[in-house]
Amino acid sequence: MKNKKIILTVLAVFLVTLLYNTKSFGKYVIDSNIIVARLNIDRTKPVGMINYSTNEITNENVIVTVTLSEPIENVEGWQLSEDKLAMTKEYQQNITENVKIVDTSGNDNVIEIDIQNINTD
């Protein structure tokens, strides 16, 4: 049984090396009657749609909700939904900041939060 695992591991490394060296990632490769399955590599950046609890001048905090195009990893300072498709944060003062989001495949993107409607007088 141990020898079978070693052989399978060596075969897998060989196939990945073959695909890499022939630049055939994401395509079918047929060679010597062996068909290697298509590899789908996620290269799509996550996208966030930003919603502010209010856009009017306010004396209250502003809650920002970002709806995401795909599940992401935790973002420090933000509350991530259970399905990882939305995140929220409450702001007490005006701010412009960039927030980096990273999906579960490691693709990243930056969203800009811009709050200028909190009246601090």
Express each pLDDT in 43-59 by its tens digit.
899 999 999 999 999 99
Q: Are residues 52 and 106 in the same domain?
A: yes
* 24/62: higher pLDDT: 62
Residue 42 lies in a domain: no
Please give, one letter per residue, the 3-state secondary structure of 50-115.
EEECCCCCECCCEEEEEEECCCECCCCCCEECCCCCEEEEEECCCEEEEEEEEECCCCEEEEEEEE
pLDDT at 120 over 70: yes
Residue 103 lies in a domain: yes
Residue 121 lies in a domain: no
Q: Which of 5-19, 40-54, 57-71 has the lowest mean pLDDT?
A: 5-19
What is the structure's pLDDT at 11? 55
Residue 53 lies in a domain: yes
Into how many domains does the chain fold? Answer: 2
Q: Average pLDDT, whole number, for the chain?
A: 82
Q: Are residues 32 and 58 in the same domain?
A: no
* 81/33: higher pLDDT: 81
Containing domain of residue 6, as a range?
2-36
What is the value of pTM for the model shown? 0.68
